[in-house]
Amino acid sequence: MQADKLKKYRPYPTVPLKDRTWPDNTITEAPLWCSVDLRDGNQALRQPMNLEQKLEMFQLLVDIGFKEIEVGFPAASKVEFDFLRLLIEDNLIPEDVTVQVLTQAREHLIRKSFAALQGVRKGIVHLYNSTSTLQRQVVFKMDRKEIIQLGVQGAQVIREEAERFDGDIRYEYSPESFTGTELDFALEICEEVMGVWEPTPERPVVVNLPATVEMATANIYADQIEWFIRQMKNRDCALISLHAHNDRGSAVAATELALMAGADRVEGTLFGNGERTGNVDIITLALNMFSQGVDPKLDFSNVNRVVNVYKRCTDLPVHPRHPYVGDLVYTAFSGSHQDAISKGMDAVADDASGVWAVPYLPIDPKDVGRTYESIICINSQSGKGGAAYIMDRQFGYKLPKSMQPGFGRVVQEKTENIGKELSSKAVYTVFEREYLQEEGYFRLKEFNVLKRHIDQQEDMSTADVEAVLFVNGQEQRLRGTGNGPLDAMCAVLNDQAELYFVLHSYDEHSLTEGASSRAVTYIELMDKREKGSREGWWGAGVDTDIIVSSIKALLSAVNRMHAGR
């Protein structure tokens, strides 16, 4: 940045709080939550939601578990007014949900808000007026006393309306732009408003302290909240509420630290939708708590539904890297990450404690309705572990460790050739083409075990086998003897097909359960002509007969060795 531009800006003042306590605290329980998606979130949209979209969003918020929902500013527009009337008249507000309405400290707006609330069982009237130093000086041209008078007059009208209202009305006050307001003045005006409403511990008011514009680091917001709570009178008669915006990109952190400082309640939106850079993201806040073993009291076990409804109602995208809910947040492309995740998943599966501890995955994707299918995806940056993980978790093939590098190279070559990510199905297709297709220089037509010889005294056995192969397209009938069918087939190929290999590794497992289960066999051959080779030629075979699957795997390895793959 140009040095002369810096002269335009001044550092935000710190809070004189030398004995602050919040840094030693932790979040051990969820706050009270209030969604402002239908008000803060809605007013920030290029095209505000229509009634149908508002209804769908309201139902989503109810299903997630919000007990307080700010449904709009009914005195500001007909759509806002009509929406609240629809909720009330069609009895769409559950008994345990309180709807909240926003109003400025102006008498006619307050009275219209109460008209919109007629018939509601439980409501919160949220009064605000701007208190910031800058707005007092530049926008309103008013001093502190005049600003306080505005807030007090608004509070008096609200109390007057509430006392004759046939329903349960609670009060909320926001000194708008709290973070731009001198702390002593913010405290003064809040206490003056509380003095009008006369709250009790049994019926506290909500004192909402918004970072309407995020102006400083998260720790300063926490200091402001702790200072305010310490200084205010009748603390037990107020619920301290947070309403953070994200201008500096730290609304989540600021809210978490402010909760540690003693706040009781949080207002925010799904995905942080809101003016400028948005409001605090309640999904991230809630799942951050969840990841620490704290019940957030909100249900995000089906984030796919939340994403779909949000997109449909707001016409906004969700970034693929959005914490916890983005399409790619549980996906690893890096080879080292894939290897660590794969090992972590295996360790969790073997751990009877049930504790989640997987590298790179702070929560189990299944807990938010995601599957393991997308944890590892394959592109040119992926390593051997990723492809092996997909083959194991999605298709049941547990590739031997020393087989994985070779398969990884085959997959990487494919991704580099096509220049994009490989789907799980495409990874399997690569494996099938490379190892399982019964094509190549040597092809099996028939295989029979002619005779088994068991010598009980010598504790050994031999087998006579016959195989009909297509060798470079020509049918040949070959016979041989070995310690078992596989050893006999190795001898046949070495002696009669003039190959030069030794069987180095053998592994097998069942692919499916039951009497008709299929077996998969993996075989590694070392070429005798390649002196000092540390990696052999792997093949794989699948069949319901374990002997046949091993012969298929042997020919798979022989064909790959013959082709130099």
CA-only gyration radius of the chain, Å? 35
Which residues neighbour 424 within 8 Å (Cβ) at sequence distance 6 or greater? Answer: 373, 390, 394
Nearest Cα neighbor of 340 from 386, 408, 400 is 386
40 assigned ligand-binding residue: yes
350 assigned ligand-binding residue: no
Q: Is 199 exposed, middle or buried (0-12, 13-18, 19+ CB in 10 A)?
A: buried
Instruction: Give the integer Cα–Cα distance in Å for 563 and 565.
Output: 6
- Residue-wise DSSP of 235-299: GGGEEEEEEEB-TTS-HHHHHHHHHHTT--EEEEBGGG--STT-B-BHHHHHHHHHHTT---SS-
Per the structure block, which two tokens stand in for 123? 């409501």
245 assigned ligand-binding residue: yes
Which residues neighbour 506 within 8 Å (Cβ) at sequence distance 6 or greater? Answer: 486, 521, 522, 523, 524, 550
Q: Are 411 and 378 in contact (CB under 8 A)?
A: yes
The residue type of 45 is L
Which residues neighbour 472 within 8 Å (Cβ) at sequence distance 6 or greater? Answer: 441
Largest Cα–Cα separation, the chain:
109
319 assigned ligand-binding residue: no
Per the structure block, which two tokens stand in for 310? 């949000």
Can you tell me whether residue 40 is helix, strand or coil? Answer: helix
DSSP letter at 183 equals H
183-197 helix and 218-231 helix, angle to the nearest 10 degrees: 50
* Distances in whole angstroms, Cα of residue 23 to Cα of each of 58, 92, 251, 259, 294: 36, 42, 17, 11, 18
Can you tell me whether residue 505 is helix, strand or coil? Answer: strand
Between the two ends of the chain, the Cα-to-Cα distance in Å is 55
* Distances in whole angstroms, Cα of residue 121 to Cα of each of 64, 74, 165, 202: 21, 17, 10, 18
Known binding-site residues equal 40, 243, 245, 279
Known binding-site residues for Mg(2+) equal 40, 243, 245, 279
